[in-house]
Amino acid sequence: MATHNWRRGAAVLARVMRDPAEVAAPLDLPDAPDSAEIAAAPDSASPPFFRRPGHAPAGQSDRWLTALAGAVALAVSGSAAAQSASTLVAVAAHGNFHAAGVVATISGDVDGDASALLEWRRGASGAFRPGHPLVRVDATRFVGSLFELAPGVAHQVRITLVDPDGVTAPATRTADFATRPPGLREPTVRILFVAPGGNDGNPGTDPGAPLATIQAAATRLAPGDRVSIAPGTYRESVVVTTSGTAAQPIVFRGSGPGVVLDGADAAIAAGGVPWTSGAGGTWSLAIAFATGHAVTDQGRLFRYDSLADLQALAAGPPGGFFVDGSTLRVKFSDGSPPAARTIHVARLEDGLRLDGVSHVRVENLEIRHYGAGDYGKGIYLRFASDSAVRNCRIHEVGAAGVWVKGGARNLIEGNEILDTSIPGWDWNWTKGSSAENNAIVFTDDIGRGNVVRRNDLRGTFNGVGPCGSLPPPAGFTSETDLYENLLSDHNDDAFEPEGWCANVRMWDNVIADVHMAFAVAPAYPGPTWIVRNVARDFGSTRTSQQDGYTASVLKINSGYPQPVGPLLVYHNSFWTSAPNTPALALLNPGESTWIRARNNVFAATSDVFYKVNPVTVDFDRDALWRSTSGRLAYWEGATYPSLPDLRAGSGQELSGFFADPAFAAPAAGDFTPLPSSPLVDSGAVLPGVNDSPIGDPPDIGAVERSEIFADGFDEGSAVRWSLTFP
């Protein structure tokens, strides 16, 4: 049993919105534009409402809201030039459990100088409070997000369109939405029992006369059924084609520990099969099935494409395999014979496939050793919606622990998904091979509202790829939430939001020992939100330290023509002790729109910033630190030894500072600022992200020392909780 405490192990907790009756006083917005700048057309390279007019001292921030009100009045009055006036066509909102997305559609605005303001409230009465201004993503759409919402609650948003050239009335529209309820319904119609030694000829409704296979239960399903699976090993590939309903879902559930779906050949795993010694330390076995995946008691084996490559074992230990027709060949780095090993050779491709269904859950299963072909999957949600994968242990699977192809409003939570050997393999061999896998991956036209939370993911090549390749079948934004996950030991990217990513939100995650923390190369059309995450010891992998690749908390470089969409990076703690590792490396090639960073810690052992890509950035109020001697930044051909040099040369971090962040115990995963830390009360207030009607200014970084923002719930208590995996 692996227990992970999210207060101290992760140092980041789930946050729930404070009492709706607490209406914020005028907010401290020290870098918000004044009225003259709002009325003027923004610089084409600057994101709407993110132009920096200077840095007012605390207490002068409400001038932004006053200026916005004046700009709204000017726009609605029609006193400006009408030839480029705007019209607010529609507003839509979509709620998940703790976050929501908003899309405002406009017309007109030929010169592109309109902006859209977001306000929100619980219910349909009471005062509105400001949210984060919407982000323009194309000629007709503004997109934004709300964070820290309570689940199962009705909300309302109000959007006000602002255009110096005038707005065709109405300039303001509202939209109602509800967050998803916190609980999951239980089926109540029937229980089907499955157990080793059962008989598929039984009805399956009597625990004393169970079915033998999970597939037999799957063929008998109706809404409201629960499939109770007894401990044991089930060597089968299950396909589910029957849907439940919202009121009566279908649930597959292990009845206790030790319920295992195994895709490997039983005879080879049991041993005693006739292996033959061959040249170069290899061993061969005749097999009657195709396979693309093999695992031993020492870990996963690398799949080679030739006998010569297998003999060389260039990828690394513990060994490899090669399939030549009907012959399986293996070699182990320690020279041991197959008889000394337990070998699991996949003969099934997928563990459990939910095919075009809805309202189906899979819970409390161990799934392992699938991957007979090129795309082995532990659980495959193929155009499934309103379904869930919960509290499963999925390990050593070919391509993905959980693969989501299309589908909307799915929930992946509380799972442990892991692989072995891959972190020790040469990146140059692993990239493009069968081992370039993911713990969780989304593909194709992903629908809105998928949630990935509270999972422990480790040892796969990448952690989570949350974006498909196409827009959602209905709507524009993805509205995908990824939060409170632990990701570690990925020799490429922890999060890889690449593809169609629109309102993808990653917050309260903890990342350790990876090459890249966030790869957005490209995340199109945006926005992509990176908020209150901890990334520790990025750059410590073999990829970073041995294979010659530059690590970073953020990757924007790609060879694709689509640009990285707007990227908002707020309140993260990025800290590494890995040798010669920059905090942020913005590399070529690749096109990007802009990146905005506020209230982050960038702590490195090399350049804090290494920027060669010409992407437009807006960095301020961040804490910068280099724990070794040397320059602060390399910036598009210029070297900046110190923060004053960076400010003078780039115009960035005018209110940032250079200092040791003074975390409690970062090497142990505790990123709470010490009482003397310069991070305490030093952050900028960001509407809709960290604003609060009470308390001191926000701390910089992912964790609030005072816990006012980090875990101050409606009743004002501090909550500590842990997540236990089977």
Answer whether residue 43 shows pLDDT above 80.
no
Per-residue model confidence (pLDDT) at position 692: 64
Q: How many Cβ atoms from other residues are within 10 Å of residue 445's Cβ? A: 17
CA distances from 445 to 360, 383, 405, 668, 685 (A): 20, 9, 7, 40, 36
Please give the structure tokens belonging to residue 294.
């093999």
**Average model confidence (pLDDT) for the chain?**
88
Average pLDDT rounded to a whole number, residues 142-163: 97
Per-residue model confidence (pLDDT) at position 696: 78
- Min mean pLDDT across 467-481, 644-658, 681-695 is at 681-695
Q: Are strands 504-507 and 633-635 parallel, antiparallel or unpaired?
A: unpaired
Q: How many Cβ atoms from other residues are within 10 Å of residue 72's Cβ? A: 20
For residues 292 and 369, give the distance between their C-alpha atoms in angstroms, rounded to a whole number: 10
Q: How confident is the model at residue 82 (pLDDT cuts 50, 70, 90)?
A: low
Answer whether residue 657 shows pLDDT above 70.
yes
Answer whether residue 74 shows pLDDT above 70.
no
Per-residue model confidence (pLDDT) at position 711: 43
In the chain, % of residues over pLDDT 90 = 82
Answer whether residue 706 shows pLDDT above 50.
yes
Per-residue model confidence (pLDDT) at position 84: 86
Answer whether residue 96 shows pLDDT above 70.
yes
Average pLDDT rounded to a whole number, residues 235-257: 99
Q: How confident is the model at residue 83 (pLDDT cuts 50, 70, 90)?
A: low
Among 225, 221, 227, 199, CA closest to 211:
199
Q: How confident is the model at residue 51 (pLDDT cuts 50, 70, 90)?
A: very low
Q: What burial letters (b/e) apply to 155-186, b meaning 16+ CB within 10 Å? A: bbbbbbbbbbbbbbeebbbebebebbeeeebe
Per-residue model confidence (pLDDT) at position 475: 87
Identity of the residue numbered 269: A
For residues 696 and 709, give the distance between their C-alpha atoms in angstroms, rounded to a whole number: 10
Token look-up 């499955």 returns 194
Digit-coded pLDDT (tens) for 97-140:
999 999 999 999 999 999 999 999 999 889 999 999 999 999 99
Per-residue model confidence (pLDDT) at position 670: 96
Per-residue model confidence (pLDDT) at position 65: 35
Q: Are strands 451-453 and 616-620 parallel, antiparallel or unpaired?
A: unpaired
Digit-coded pLDDT (tens) for 352-374:
999 999 999 999 999 999 999 99
Average pLDDT rounded to a whole number, residues 634-656: 98
Digit-coded pLDDT (tens) for 153-198:
999 999 999 999 999 999 999 999 999 999 999 999 999 999 999 9
Q: How confident is the model at residue 10 (pLDDT cuts 50, 70, 90)?
A: very low
Q: How confident is the model at residue 693 (pLDDT cuts 50, 70, 90)?
A: low
Among 458, 256, 276, CA closest to 363:
256
Digit-coded pLDDT (tens) for 385-425:
999 999 999 999 999 999 999 999 999 999 999 999 999 99
For residues 436 and 456, give the distance between their C-alpha atoms in angstroms, rounded to a whole number: 19
Answer whether residue 8 shows pLDDT above 90.
no
Q: Do 415 and 372 contact (CB within 8 A), yes or no?
A: no
Per-residue model confidence (pLDDT) at position 450: 98
Answer whether residue 724 shows pLDDT above 60.
no
Digit-coded pLDDT (tens) for 591-629:
899 999 999 999 999 999 999 999 999 999 999 999 999
Among 586, 522, 593, 523, CA closest to 558:
522
For residues 565 and 552, give the distance between their C-alpha atoms in angstroms, rounded to a whole number: 19
Q: How confident is the model at residue 262 (pLDDT cuts 50, 70, 90)?
A: very high
Q: Do 566 and 135 contact (CB within 8 A), yes or no?
A: yes
pTM of the full structure: 0.88
- Min mean pLDDT across 51-60, 141-150, 233-242, 671-680 is at 51-60
- Min mean pLDDT across 108-122, 234-248, 672-686, 700-714 is at 700-714
Per-residue model confidence (pLDDT) at position 35: 25
For residues 38 and 114, give the distance between their C-alpha atoms in angstroms, rounded to a whole number: 9
Digit-coded pLDDT (tens) for 486-500:
999 999 999 999 999
Average pLDDT rounded to a whole number, residues 87-99: 98
Per-residue model confidence (pLDDT) at position 294: 99
With residue 67 as reference, give the H or E element that holds it: helix 62-77
In the chain, % of residues over pLDDT 70 = 85
